Amino acid sequence: SAVISQKPSRDICQRGTSLTIQCQVDSQVTMMFWYRQQPGQSLTLIATANQGSEATYESGFVIDKFPISRPNLTFSTLTVSNMSPEDSSIYLCSVDGQGVGNTEAFFGQGTRLTVV
Amino acid sequence: AQSVTQPDIHITVSEGASLELRCNYSYGATPYLFWYVQSPGQGLQLLLKYFSGDTLVQGIKGFEAEFKRSQSSFNLRKPSVHWSDAAEYFCAVVNDYKLSFGAGTTVTVRA
């Protein structure tokens, strides 16, 4: 299994500002994933982050809005840029626990973001 | 692409009663299927998973799920629910190495 620490756990931010969310894993993992969970909704994949390469974004998500860093095999950051109230969501980091596709995913506790 | 559907948005069940949550997957090769639980204010916890083999899968917290290819279903069951089972439950499928989640089912447990 993998233990994932996400920071911050929650934040309230002003519109137009940016927030960077950190995800730290206790073991080296190939793939890291960032999800968004809007209020009362399911999880939507934002992007996949592999170390040493640019993140791969899903349809509807762009790098300018959600820049991602993956400097090593245990850490990643997601930035929510130029925030608006529509960005109020829970953002979750996830890792591939087996190293062969996402056949077992582990999740952080999430970052609850409120934009005012 | 593989996807999952959870037909029930909200289920209310009495403590001690049985629980069944429905999950249907789209047609395709044998899917990799998962059930996750999200308690209020918490992240997601894996309850169980199915890749192949025995179609009845045992998970944590007394949950089990049965894979039925003929019905394209992977329903989650628990014989006797506890108040602590009140949570959001998500069915998920691996889709090109990524997880696709169903809309979720909220379970309320009444005393």
* Ranges of residues in chain A whose predicted pLDDT is under 70: 97-104
> Is pLDDT of B62 > 60?
yes
Average pLDDT value over all residues in chain B: 91
What integer pLDDT is reported at residue B95 of this predicted model? 77
Model pLDDT for residues A42-55, shown as the tens digit of each residue: 999 999 998 888 89
Partners of residue B32 in chain A, C-beta under 8 Å: 103
Q: Which chain A residues are Cβ-neighbours of B94 within 8 angstroms?
A: 101-103
Residue of A nearest to B103 (CA): A42
Query: Is pLDDT of B66 > 80?
Result: yes
pLDDT computed for residue A97 by the predictor: 62
Q: Does B60 touch chain A (CB under 8 A)?
A: no
Mean pLDDT for the stretch of residues B27-41: 84
Taking an 8 Å cut-off on Cβ atoms, the answer to whether B44 and A41 are in contact is no
Phi-psi region at A53: left, alpha or beta (left = phi > 0; alpha = psi -120 to 50): beta
